[in-house]
Amino acid sequence: MHYYQFNIGDYQSHTSHLSEIEDLIYRRLLDWYYLHEIPIPLDEAEVSRQIRMRSHTESIAIVLQEYFERTDDGWIHHRANKEIAKAGDKSEKASASAKVRWGKKDANALPTQSESNATHNTLHITQDTEHKTQKKATVVATPVGVSDSVWQEFKSLRKAKKAPITQRAIDALTNEASKAGWTLEKALEECIVRGWQAFKADWVVKPNPADNIRLTLAASNEPDPALLKIKQDEKITRPPTPEERAILNAYRRKA
């Protein structure tokens, strides 16, 4: 398919939580899927090459996991498959109808422009933003270290967003939580509070201003004043002379 109608409202209602990179990835994956009408390859490196985003394999994996379903043949999109099938059926019916009409007419006559267009695919395809059906999602057990209450709340959040929980999604969350120095449970709690169905370390980890100061301030060549004071004190301190020691002993005996 070389054309499909893009429904802006439908798309935004299901993708408003995506980052700029994830949004671009999803658009390119959909374009590739409609254009080739075959499953997206399982090889993430090949996928990133096909959509010209080689440096964003982790984000590609997140988008595939959320909006597509993994099969032995590759990643598929159920709604896109339905629309592609509809377009094929309409095109075949239009072509058959045109052949029947022209079979009854003069074989030497030429079809009008409108009749000629009957054999073309004119079906308006609504932009597909439907998530994968949850009936086919694999049940994932409560991860180790995550309380049942937090897990149930996170499951409810994902269900409300029509995003099934898979092991791949949990692995991605665990990896991002580790990058942020967080436990998986803390990351899930953050998702629940903020209404996120996914988690990225750079959403919560902020740069330390002190690091910038240490990196930008030039090293001083001046000696440390505290170190100079210590060295001066060492010069003043010395063992008593025999005369001074005798005087001190005499004072001790009188005491």
Grade residue 122 by pLDDT with cuts at 50, 70 and 90. very low
In the predicted model, what is the mean pLDDT of the chain? 77
- Of 186, 114, 179, 102, whose CA–CA distance to 146 is shortest? 186
Cα separation, 152 vs 55, in Å, equals 34
Residue 248 lies in a domain: no
Residue 233 lies in a domain: no
Residues 85-111: tens digit of each pLDDT: 777 666 666 676 777 766 665 555 555
Tokens 């058959």, residue? 96
For the chain, the domain total comes to 2
76-85, 147-156, 221-230: least confident range: 221-230
Is there a contact between 110 and 79 (Cβ–Cβ < 8 Å)?
A: no
Residues 172-194: tens digit of each pLDDT: 999 999 998 999 999 999 999 98
Structure tokens at 52: 């010209």
Residue 238 lies in a domain: no
For 54, phi then psi, to 5°, come to: -65, -25
> Which of 161, 184, 203 lies at the terminal end of a domain, its last residue?
203
In the predicted model, is pLDDT for residue 217 greater than 80? Answer: no
Say whether both 120 and 147 belong to one domain.
no
Is there a contact between 205 and 177 (Cβ–Cβ < 8 Å)?
A: no
Residue 67 lies in a domain: yes
Structure tokens at 246: 């005798």
Say whether both 6 and 88 belong to one domain.
yes
Contacts of 13 (CB under 8 A, 6+ apart): 129
- Which pLDDT score, from 0 to 100, does residue 150 have? 92
Grade residue 51 by pLDDT with cuts at 50, 70 and 90. confident
Residue 163 lies in a domain: yes
Say whether both 93 and 169 belong to one domain.
no
- Of 61, 26, 53, 46, whose CA–CA distance to 176 is shortest? 61
Grade residue 38 by pLDDT with cuts at 50, 70 and 90. confident
Residue 212 lies in a domain: no
Grade residue 153 by pLDDT with cuts at 50, 70 and 90. very high
Say whether both 104 and 182 belong to one domain.
no
Q: Give the H or E element holding residue 74.
A: strand 74-76
Grade residue 209 by pLDDT with cuts at 50, 70 and 90. low
13-17, 146-150, 218-222, 243-247: range with highest mean pLDDT: 146-150
Query: Which amino acid, one-letter code, is at 126?
Result: T
In the predicted model, is pLDDT for residue 79 greater than 50? Answer: yes
- Which pLDDT score, from 0 to 100, does residue 244 have? 76
Say whether both 59 and 185 belong to one domain.
no
Q: Domain containing 6: what range?
A: 1-131
Provide mean pLDDT across the span 231-247: 72
- Of 158, 168, 113, whose CA–CA distance to 138 is shortest? 168
Structure tokens at 40: 């997206």
Provide mean pLDDT across the span 7-33: 85
The dihedral region occupied by 3, where left means phi > 0, alpha psi between -120 and 50, and beta the remainder, is beta
